[in-house]
Structure 1
């Protein structure tokens, strides 16, 4: 039996839920203006997000000037703030409003073509733009299954789950039972979603290049492809600031189909890089993508704390 949450965590969950509900009714132009105001404050006062973003950008764009990387870091945190403000919109706004915000759809033929061939579709959905809007569209147009890990604040779980499932998405746990559900969905020629840029636990991945630097990358994809012959597509919802979103479905790097896990993981990271190239500011750079490399260099103590990584 789970321990009850503290009064402070309950108050925090209520405040977050209230904020999402309040923002759900706002126009996207208003949410973008709020993000433009709040983003610089996040950059200035959220030291962890600012420093991790700047460390990551120095790793992936070493040829850019420091001033250019700082500007990109500021823009990135504005977009990350916008994503947080848009969660209520994606999860709670009237479906017709969310659908109307999807102003462009590029590459849908990749999804339709795979299903016409009797294949399932694995959508690699990196943390770019607004991935919750992408989930909304996919689950509105296809039978769609995705893995789901409950939030750290338990009280928010019903709200988030309802928001993600409201258009028909099926959420499955991040464990062997969930993997089995993904396999069954693919064998039914349905679509599934995978987050390709989250670091897996030790033993569930391999080191593969991400912007020419090793990053620990999950090996779930080649296992799914080998057992289902599914097609792989990268999908993102690129923000059109203040107006809406453009969906992009990109053909996967062919290396994702390799039976060699390291080669496949390299292809996965290349897919993420291709999505980032659409607009680097819309990628969530505050995620510690290279953390396990540093852990390995320091003897991989899994529970050691790091100032930045």
Structure 2
């Protein structure tokens, strides 16, 4: 049985890599056109993605009319399809073509100013637009370190790792050794990347508001800030349909610097909300951001650790 499973995984990996290699040569405009064809199919046949997107968007934008809500659901699934199709381009495409696809960069002065003052920079990189293009740009311009967790299909690991490291990024594991590497990078006044919208384990987060609902949020950031006095910015690669990408760096909500973990987590979520406002359809709404609940936390013996931010 294990041998059969391994064989299936190898075939899946080969098919995925073959697709990435083919799409790596496509232009962003062609990938966007393909996404517009695939998006409606995802909406029709992928019940899980459609339902989670609907639920999350109703939570975030309750004021939307029903037609406006459905348009946003449709647009979101098209953008999510585009992100998946663009992976081969970001990881395997000609580096000059990827660089040329980045049409604009806004807010770079936030990073440059921090480094002029001998401060490291923590880039909050939510799942918005194409975060792999953001990684490409950051690692092309700054010494850049980010955490990396190998994919479930082990055969994809070397391809993804090479793609993310090809412009000089340093990938570190999602464990205490990786956290130590992030601290060292910040103390060298370099830049690091953190995904602020992934749910952490029960031992490394707190509940804080995200679009009006309590979301379990990682507390790594206040620990890093407290030990390094790093500056925090939000960074995204916004898709310009049919043209390429626009990089945006935004000043983080000031609460991220608070020593109280719950206050800092609220600032992190507020910073993500500000980035999403650039174009709500480009956020990855099909991710179950509210998977962990305060009610579930209260059933745990150590539930006081998970008190709500109020």
What residue is the counterpart of 1:306 in the other structure?
A: none
User: Could you tell me how far 1:299 is from its partner in structure 2?
Assistant: 3.9
Counterparts in 2 of 1:258-277, with a 5 A limit? 258-277=258-277
User: Could you tell me how far 1:67 is from its partner in structure 2?
Assistant: 2.4
1:95 aligns with 2:95: yes
Distance 1:199 1:293 in 2: 11
Note if contact 1:292-1:300 (Cα within 8 Å) is conserved in structure 2: no
What residue is the counterpart of 1:307 in the other structure?
A: none
Note if contact 1:222-1:258 (Cα within 8 Å) is conserved in structure 2: yes
Counterparts in 2 of 1:1-309, with a 5 A limit? 6-293=6-293, 296=296, 299=299
Please list every run of 5 or more consecutive structure 2 residues that lacks an aligned counterpart in the other structure.
Answer: 302-310
Secondary structure of the 1:122 match is strand
What residue is the counterpart of 2:308 in the other structure?
A: none
User: Could you tell me how far 1:152 is from its partner in structure 2?
Assistant: 0.8
User: Could you tell me how far 1:7 is from its partner in structure 2?
Assistant: 1.4
Distance 1:16 1:141 in 2: 29
Residues 1:33 and 1:108: Cα distance change in structure 2 (over 3 Å): same
Q: Quick check: 63-72 or 178-187, which moved more?
A: 63-72
Please list every run of 5 or more consecutive structure 1 residues that lacks an aligned counterpart in the other structure.
Answer: 302-309
Distance 1:60 1:296 in 2: 22
How many residue pairs match? The answer is 300
Q: What is the TM-score when the length of structure 1 is the normalising length? A: 0.94
Cα RMSD of the aligned pairs, angstroms, is 1.6
User: Could you tell me how far 1:295 is from its partner in structure 2?
Assistant: 6.1
Deviations, residues 30-83 of structure 1 (Å, cap 9, x unaligned): 101100000110111011100010011111111112222121111101000000
Secondary structure of the 1:198 match is coil
Secondary structure of the 1:202 match is coil
